[in-house]
Amino acid sequence: MPHSHLVIRHLLKQVDLHRARRSSRDPRPEWLQRLVAAAAEALSPLSGIARVGAECQYLDEIWEARLYLGTTEIVGGANDGTSHFANFEADVTKLLALFSPVENVCWTACPATEGGRSYLSLRGRYGDKPVSLKVYSHPPQGTKPALKQRADGLIEAS
């Protein structure tokens, strides 16, 4: 088989493509993705537009979803490179309705903590799954801006 190396190369390329597709998939369970999407609907910027960010982690036999509104970076003009947090409100009634039953609701304020973030925490069951949901006042440090606003007012995803 003089061209068998071509077949092997093709098979290796297929394996690489399969690995790339699998690694780019969302590792969160589908039910958690639905919860995050529903919880994001309960967050509304007080002005303009904003994008909801989410971090999810499996901790102590329970999934924890942490939501926040991303920052907007100014591109061009006098304020080039500055980023702004989004002021927003959370419809707590909508968030509570996602859980059955709700086991715990807590507000944690961290104004005196350097780099601290205040957050609303809900714990309960989403369907038959135990879950913790936290809505933070701003993104974690080091998070890249979610949106970019150009000097002409055009807003685009980062």
DSSP 4-37: HHHHHHHHHHHHHHHHHHHHHS--S-HHHHHHHH
Stretch (H or E) spanning 97: helix 92-97
One-letter amino acid at 64 equals E
pLDDT recorded at residue 18: 52
Global pTM reads: 0.79
Q: How does pLDDT run along the chain (158 residues), one tens digit per residue?
A: 454 444 445 445 555 555 555 445 678 999 999 999 999 999 999 998 899 999 999 998 999 999 999 999 999 988 888 888 999 999 999 999 999 999 999 999 987 777 778 999 999 999 999 999 999 999 998 889 898 989 888 888 88
Q: Is the CB of residue 112 less than 8 Å from the CB of residue 16?
A: no
pLDDT recorded at residue 1: 46
